């Protein structure tokens, strides 16, 4: 449960209810005209603290949406692919997202996949220590599951696609 969302929401709703009660209390005082019937300098002077309170309550949500990373849009999936042919990588970090490696050689490299685009290796060779990793929590979890379940429960751990209705379509 996201308490960072629900607690401010409940407090804001309680504050709005109390602001409503205060406006009704002020209207019940002798000689006070209700807000909807008269917008005048006297009414604005009388009710400006209520307006400021409502504005501040709404403003307290700005940091929630600016700072909380779960509300930021994910980067777009890269549909285009950069083709890299015949390159040799040695003792370096190689980002895989959105790249097609054709006849490349990898030696003692760290392959990093962020999960932002398709990657393909065609006739590539690998030597030395190869580290494959990701900074994406979902991909890291899948890699852990793949390592734990390979050869224990499943013949093969692979990927699946879904159709428009959410039904799973296994990949060959």
Q: What is the pLDDT of residues 62-116, one digit of tens each?
A: 776 666 555 444 566 777 889 999 999 999 999 999 999 999 999 999 999 888 8
Q: Is residue 142 situated within a structural domain? A: yes
Q: Specify the pLDDT at position 159.
A: 60
Of 25, 41, 71, which marks where a domain is finished?
A: 71
What is the number of structural domains in the chain? Answer: 2
Distance CA 93, CA 91 (A): 7
Q: Is residue 149 situated within a structural domain? A: yes
- Residue range(s) defining the domain that contains residue 121: 82-158
Q: Is residue 166 situated within a structural domain? A: no
Distance CA 119, CA 82 (A): 9
Q: Are 116 and 67 in the same domain?
A: no
Q: Is residue 77 situated within a structural domain? A: no
Q: Specify the pLDDT at position 104.
A: 94
Q: Is the predicted pLDDT of residue 124 greater than 80, yes or no?
A: yes
Q: Are 87 and 151 in the same domain?
A: yes
Q: Specify the pLDDT at position 151.
A: 56
Distance CA 66, CA 68 (A): 6
More confident residue, 164 or 102: 102
Distance CA 135, CA 1 (A): 24
Q: Is residue 106 situated within a structural domain? A: yes
Q: Is residue 125 situated within a structural domain? A: yes
Q: Are 104 and 145 in the same domain?
A: yes
Q: Is residue 124 situated within a structural domain? A: yes
Q: Specify the pLDDT at position 126.
A: 92
Q: Specify the pLDDT at position 99.
A: 93
Q: Are 37 and 98 in the same domain?
A: no
17-51 pLDDT per residue, tens: 877 777 777 777 776 655 555 555 656 666 677 77
Mark 86-116 as b/e (b = at least 16 C-beta within 10 Å).
eeebeeeebebbbbbbeebebeebbbbbebb
Q: Are 17 and 54 in the same domain?
A: yes
> What are residue 100's DSSP bridge partners?
83, 120
Q: Specify the pLDDT at position 156.
A: 53
Q: Is the predicted pLDDT of residue 54 greater than 70, yes or no?
A: yes
Q: Specify the pLDDT at position 19.
A: 77
Distance CA 143, CA 137 (A): 10
- In contact, 90 and 110? CB cutoff 8 Å: no
Q: Are 90 and 49 in the same domain?
A: no
Of 18, 41, 71, which marks where a domain is finished?
A: 71
């Amino acid at each position: 449960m996201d308490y960072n969302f629900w607690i401010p929401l409940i407090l804001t709703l309680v504050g709005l209810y109390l602001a409503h009660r205060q406006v009704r209390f002020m209207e019940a005082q002798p000689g006070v005209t209700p807000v909807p019937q008269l917008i005048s300098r006297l009414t604005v002077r009388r009710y400006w603290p209520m307006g400021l309170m409502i504005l501040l309550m709404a403003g307290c949500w700005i940091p929630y949406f600016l700072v909380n990373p779960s509300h930021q849009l994910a980067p777009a999936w890269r549909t285009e692919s950069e083709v890299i042919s015949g390159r040799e990588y040695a003792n370096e970090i190689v980002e895989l997202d959105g790249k097609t490696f054709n006849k490349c050689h990898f030696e003692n490299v760290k392959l990093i996949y962020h999960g932002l685009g398709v990657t393909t290796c065609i006739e590539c060779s690998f030597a030395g220590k190869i580290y494959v990793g990701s900074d994406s929590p979902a991909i890291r979890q899948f890699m852990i599951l793949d390592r734990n379940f390979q050869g224990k429960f499943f013949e093969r751990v692979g990927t699946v696609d879904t159709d428009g209705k959410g039904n799973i379509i296994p990949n060959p």
